[in-house]
Copies of this chain bind each other. A is one copy, B any other.
Amino acid sequence: MRPTIDLPLVVDRGCGVPLAVQVAGQLREAMRTGGLKAGERLPSSRHLAALLGVSRTVVTNAYQQLYAEGWLDGRHGSGTYVADGALPYDRPAARAAEARPAVYKEAAPPGVVDLRPGRPWVLEYDTAAWRRAWRSAGEAGPDAFPDPYGHPELRELLADHLRRARAVPVGAGNVMVTRSTSNGLDLIAATLLRPGDRVGVEEPGWRAARRIFASRGAQVVPCPVDEQGVIVEALPDDLRVLYTTPAHQYPVGGRLPIPRREKLLAWARRTGAIVVEDDYDAEFRYDVAPLPALYGLDPERVVLLGTLSKSLGPDVGLGWLVAPADLLDAVAERRDQLADRTSGPVQRAVATLLERGDLDRHLRRMRLEYARRRAAIVEALGPYVRGDTAGLHVMVPLPAAVVPGLVRQAGERGVLVDTAEAHHFGPPRVHGLVLGYGSASRADVRRGCAVIRELIPPEGV
């Protein structure tokens, strides 16, 4: 049955508002007021375009914006649906507060193998170094005038770390201390974007990135990637910002080759876009040395975001943002206006870890361990594995039809996995499993991969 839409949608070519914005606005209003309900199927873009007498691109753009804002759900792959819980919170109600909502992702219970990506292994930290760091956090008193750029000593130490680990010719003057990659992205969005600005995000890509941009009023544009990374030829010319992961595409796993990096920067210079380079797990490569950060190739056009989240975990709350001085000043001004900052004691603790070489030692130790876990995956799933010899996850491409059953069966056998589908915001174009080895020991990685191997159908290669 072809879904039709029982709503009085109209477009007006004379009022100066882009047609896609008009369509998105009317659909949003319908979902907000209950004219469209959670789970309801929307017409195909082709069908709705014909009904309204507009081009299909208009409807596709409207749908993409609503996907990005969280109103629509296209993950089922077979149509566009109003998302569950799309209606913004409306009526507070008394409820048992002990009920733990589904959102809370906790560590897997004992006996369960957690191959979901995104979390590092934090059990083998250096207890003495960690305690020393937090002791040092209390050595200076509370501060009534926090610096939006961060502590000068830590900025120096981070610049030094970036020069050594990422071959980036950067001084402390270009470094801001943030809390995380998401904090850096949000600051860039709050500084650079005006409502309706178009922002490119890799597709598939990091979910939080598109939500952060969309929640700042940006129109988020999915930019397809292949096994090497973002496809430069497919980038539209009207992006204000492009979010990309050139060191290790998340989640497909490619490393952007040099010629493509040059093409990307030529595109940015030509169009005036700012490229945001998320360097989230660049410290972890197990075969060759990492490519220097994109930032080094054009420090006028690129913002580099780094984080401790993939080394010491997201809970510490420390990251960095590297940008041209003028942009950094604009970000600092905006940050100050929004009363956003990085905890001072956390900055002192991390400065101690950097100063004493504790972070470097931890990275070296974990690099060895992760390389072994990755080898265990390759041993078990060899021909299926895609992605560079790097980072904390691999990708296992599979036919779309196979994925949901496999995820369910793996779960029944105590193995938690993630999918490529879940990292899309339009209809999925890449299918398969995303397997992380940050949250599982080497033995568990072996055990989990053995289960997955058994579940992959022979025609799944």
On whether A343 and B346 interact (CB within 8 A), knowing A92-B301, A144-B122, the answer reads yes
Give the chain B neighbours of A16 by CB distance below 8 A.
Answer: 10, 12, 15, 22, 25-26
Stretch of A209-217, A243-251, A370-378, A427-435 lying at the B interface = A209-217
B142 and A179 contacting across the interface, CB-CB below 8 Å: no
Asked whether any CB of chain B lies closer than 8 Å to the CB of A6, the reply is no
Give the chain B neighbours of A192 by CB distance below 8 A.
Answer: 88-89
Give the chain B neighbours of A7 by CB distance below 8 A.
Answer: none
Give the chain B neighbours of A272 by CB distance below 8 A.
Answer: 90
- Can you name the residue of chain B whose Cβ is closest to the Cβ of A129? B138
Give the chain B neighbours of A315 by CB distance below 8 A.
Answer: 142-144, 146, 341, 343-345
Complex CA–CA separation, A333 to B16 (angstroms): 36
Complex CA–CA separation, A333 to B10 (angstroms): 34
Contact of A338 among B90, B182, B438 (CB under 8 A): B182
A137 and B134 contacting across the interface, CB-CB below 8 Å: yes
Shortest beta-carbon distance, A32 to chain B, in Å? Answer: 7
> Residues 1-37 of chain A: 1 if any B CB is under 8 Å from the residue's CB, otherwise 0?
0000000001010111100001001101000100000
Asked whether any CB of chain B lies closer than 8 Å to the CB of A119, the reply is yes
Main secondary structure of the interface of A (DSSP, over half): loop
Q: Which of A15, A70, A139 has the largest count of B CB atoms less than 10 A from its CB?
A: A15
Residues of A within 8 A of B (CB): 10, 12, 14-17, 22, 25-26, 28, 32, 70, 85, 88-99, 101, 103-107, 119-123, 125, 127, 130-135, 137-139, 141-149, 171-174, 179-183, 186, 190-195, 207-208, 211-212, 215-217, 272, 274, 300-301, 312-318, 323-330, 332-333, 336-346, 349, 438-439
Give the chain B neighbours of A130 by CB distance below 8 A.
Answer: 138, 141-142
A142 and B119 contacting across the interface, CB-CB below 8 Å: no
The oligomer's copy count stands at 2
- Can you name the residue of chain B whose Cβ is closest to the Cβ of A102? B333
Contact of A326 among B95, B193, B328 (CB under 8 A): B95
A104 and B144 contacting across the interface, CB-CB below 8 Å: no
Contact of A208 among B191, B274, B301, B338 (CB under 8 A): B338
B216 and A333 contacting across the interface, CB-CB below 8 Å: no
Give the chain B neighbours of A137 by CB distance below 8 A.
Answer: 134, 137-138, 345, 349
Complex CA–CA separation, A135 to B12 (angstroms): 64
Contact of A142 among B32, B94, B212, B313 (CB under 8 A): B313
B104 and A123 contacting across the interface, CB-CB below 8 Å: no
Contact of A336 among B25, B105, B216 (CB under 8 A): B105
Q: A16-B25, A89-B191, A144-B438 are in contact. List 20 more A-B contacts (CB 8 A).
A: A12-B14, A15-B16, A32-B194, A97-B171, A99-B325, A104-B147, A104-B148, A105-B336, A120-B144, A125-B141, A130-B138, A142-B312, A146-B315, A211-B338, A316-B343, A317-B345, A317-B346, A343-B346, A345-B345, A345-B349
